Amino acid sequence: MNRSLLGVVLVAGGAALFGTLSYIARQAATTGLDALPFVAWRGIVATIALVAVSIALGTRVGGTRPYPDISVLTPDRRTALIVAGMAGGLLNIAMFAAFVRMEIAVALICFYTYPAIVTVAAVPLYGERLDRVRLGALGLACVGLVLVVVGPVLGSSSVVIDPIGVCLALFAALCQATFILISGRGWLPMPNLHVSTYVVATVIVLSVPLAIIAGQTSGLVLPFHEPATWVWILAGGITGAAIPTTAFITGIGLIGPSRAAILMTVEPLVGVTLAAVLLGEEPSLLQLAGGAAVVFAAAVLQVAGRAPVTTEPELGPLV
C-alpha cells in the first residue's frame, strides 16, 4: 500500500471511529454520566491504553524510549505539541457545550467549517495548491455535509439558533483546524503513538477542573457506583479516542492537512448511519444524497492524488 492510500485509509478510518462518539456519548448519558465527566473518563482510559501499548512495544515503535517523552522534541515542536493538545481538548469541550445550547445539526454545520479553514490555510503554510479538483471536492463535501446534518430538521419550527452556541461551535472549528495544521508538520523523532498519548492526556487536564467548576463532581465518581457506565467509557476511550487519534495524526502526515480535513467529513456520515441502525432514526433521501456526495468527494481526492507541496512534512514512525 502506497503512502497516499495508507494516509487516506488511516484518516477515513479514524474519522469513522470518531463518528461513533455521538452514539457512545448518548448511551453514556442514559447511565447518568454528564458530558464533562464522560470527556474526562474518555481521556483517562485512552491515555492508560496508549501508555500501556507504548510500554509493551518498547522501542519497537521507533522511539528512543519505551514511553512517551516530550523531551525528544525540539523546543519549538514541544510548544507545538502542547498547543495541539490544548486545541484538541478545547474543541471537545466547546462542541459538547454547543450541543447543549442548540440543535446538534446546526452545531455540526458551524463546526465543519474547519475543512475550508484548513484548505485555505494550507496554501501559505504548506505550499499546497488550490486546484480545481481540490476546490470541487471541498465544495461537494461541504454540500453533502449540509444535507446530512440538516435533513432531520428541515421543515421543523423548533430549530434554535443560539449565538453563544454558534460561537462555541466556530471556536471548536478553529481549534480543529489548528490541531490539523500543526500536526501536518510531523513529530520526528517522536513516534505518533507517543504524540497521541500527549494529545488525549491534555483532555484530562482541561476537563477534570471544568467538571469540578461546573458542579459535576458526582459524575467523576459515578463509574465507581454505576458499573454500566464502564462499557461506554471504555468504548469512548479506546475506539473513540486512542485508536482514531493515533490513526488521524499518522494519516495527516502522509496526505497533508487539507486532504485530511476534507476526508474527516466521513465522521458525521458514520454518526447518522449509526443513529439509523442502532437508534431507529431513519435517514431521509436528502441525507442519503449528502452521504453519497461526501463519499464521492473522498474518492475524487484519492484518485486525483496529492497536489505538489513545496515542503514535505517530516513524518514520525507510523506507530
Instruction: Return the closest-CA partner of residue 264 out of 6, 16, 4, 7.
Output: 16
Those residues whose C-beta lies under 8 Å from the C-beta of residue 149, and which sit 6 or more positions away, are 104, 105, 108, 109, 112, 268, 272, 290
User: Stretch 228-232: mean pLDDT, rounded?
Assistant: 94
- Residue 283 backbone class (left: φ over 0; alpha: ψ -120 to 50; beta: rest): beta
Q: Which position has the higher pLDDT, 143 or 275?
A: 143
**280 vs 250, which has greater pLDDT?**
250
Q: Is the pLDDT of residue 279 over 80?
A: no
Chain-centroid distance of CA 258 in Å reads 14
Cα torsion through 181, 201, 241, 215, rounded to 10:
-110
DSSP state of 313: P
Q: What is the pLDDT of residue 244?
A: 95
**Residue ranges of domains in the chain:** 3-304
Whole-angstrom Cα distance, residue 97 to residue 214?
12
Q: Interior CA angle at 319 toward 17 and 1, to 5°?
A: 80
Burial class (CB in 10 A: 0-12, 13-18, 19+), 65: middle
Given a cut of 50, is residue 311 above it in pLDDT? no
Instruction: Please count the CA atoms within 13 angstroms of the CA of 225 that sit on its side-chain side.
Output: 8
pLDDT value at position 312? 41
Please state the rounded mean pLDDT for residues 203-210. Answer: 92
Give the pLDDT band of residue 188 (cuts 50, 70, 90).
confident
Neighbours of 12 (CB within 10 A): 23
- The mean predicted confidence, pLDDT, of the chain is 81
Sign for the CA dihedral angle at 297, 302, 305, 306 comes to: positive
Average pLDDT over residues 230-249: 94
pLDDT at 135: 80
C-alpha cell at 3: 503512502
pLDDT at 23 exceeding the cut of 70 = yes
Cα Rg of the chain (Å, integer): 19
pLDDT, tens digit, 9 for 90 and up, residues 36-59: 899 999 999 999 999 999 888 876
- pTM, two decimals, is 0.79
pLDDT over 90 (residue 174): yes
